[in-house]
Amino acid sequence: MADRFADKLLTWYDQHGRHDLPWHHDRNAYRVWVSEIMLQQTQVATVIPYFEAFMASFPDVRALASAPEDDVLSHWSGLGYYARARNLHKAAKQVVEDFDGEFPQHQETLETLTGIGRSTAAAILAQSFNKRAAILDGNVKRVLARYHAVPGWPGQTSVLKQLWEHAETHTPDTRVRDYTQGIMDLGAMVCTRSKPKCESCPLNTGCQAYAHSETRLYPGSKPKKTKPEKTTWMLIIEDPDGRILLERRPPSGIWGGLWSLPELDPAYGPEELQYACETELGLTCSDPELIRGFRHTFSHYHLHIQPARLPITGSTAVADSGDQRWLHRDEALNLGLPAPIRTLLTEPEQAALL
């Protein structure tokens, strides 16, 4: 069964798969690694321009390792899941410091690098070194769950164990690079989450979910939880020279390490913002101008953002420091900013539509 599965998939890939993605050119471990990290939770079409810009600025692992974190995060702005960028930066330093700039060619060693798990390590081995290694990203999980009718949510340990066993079984000894790309492509292009194109799937004759018209049941859904709702004021504080006050967020947590706007407790009413700015930030501001609020959804909660613009009437008591800066808008846009903050600084009315 393993040989027929791989052979059918490879025949399909030769005719219909994607052979010209940017990371297929000058294919090496660094480029494969960056593409794999970017593709986590993100569609190929979204990733391509980010990948190309990232490679233009950081063409190899030494360039990435030596870059300031702000530069790395600025190239990630808009991709989301910013821990990926911070981990990428840390792992680049590990490769340079511990392996003299050369990526290890062993699964266990690759998995010691920050942010690299089993599937990503396998993708690096298969895609860049053409070594036999089984991958299991989201697309592959869906293909295997349907083909073998594996019940349950893949986030469950028992379900994941079954899927890994199937992934190991089906991975061939030859053409591993093409096979791993092919099974990812099949999941992205044919065995899609909704409305899969089962009639044109090369594996439909052996697919148990298709045989029983139950593709909608696999893979199982993650148990739903009600996301909590949070609210915050976000302040666009502008000095007489047109500079905006930005603050760097803590290195861990939501938007970790990115630059954002000062926030205030939602317990303050609009009429109390001037007072709060003076007592908490040491700034004398004029009457606030409220901007239409909007909701931004994270993986585990919804954040209601209420922006307000407050021009400063007195001196800028907050001095530039490591984690606070006064910047003109064009300067600020060169930093790593969360997408909603970037939109707020450029098109505040559009931000309200997010």
**pLDDT tens digits for range 58-110:** 999 999 999 999 999 999 988 888 999 999 999 999 999 999 999 999 999 99
Exposure string over 164-199, b if 16+ CB within 10 A, otherwise e: bebbeebbbeebbbbbbbbbbbbbbbbbeeeebebe
Question: Quick one: how far is CA 165 from the chain centroid?
Answer: 27
CA distance 6 to 71: 42
pLDDT at res. 318: 62
Angle at 75 between CA 34 and CA 41, to 5 degrees: 50
Catalytic residue among 36, 111, 229, 349: 36
Q: Name the stretches of the chain with pLDDT < 70.
A: 1-3, 314-320, 348-354
Closest CA to 203 of 146, 270, 164: 146
**Catalytic residue flag (residue 347):** no
pLDDT at res. 308: 94
Angle, helices 29-39 vs 83-99, to 10°: value is 160
Q: State the residue for tokens 């939602």.
A: 266
**Bridge partners, residue 260, by sequence:** 247
Q: Which helix (H) or strand (E) holds 16?
A: helix 2-16
Strands (E), the chain: 229-238, 244-248, 259-260, 263-264, 289-290, 294-297, 302-311, 324-327
CA distance 179 to 13: 8
Q: Which domains does the chain have, with CATH numbers?
A: 2-135+171-189 (1.10.340.30), 229-351 (3.90.79.10)
pLDDT at res. 71: 93
Contact 22, 51 (CB under 8 A): yes
For the whole model, what pTM was predicted? 0.82
Q: Which amino acid appears at position 179 of this protein?
A: Y
Contact 122, 98 (CB under 8 A): no
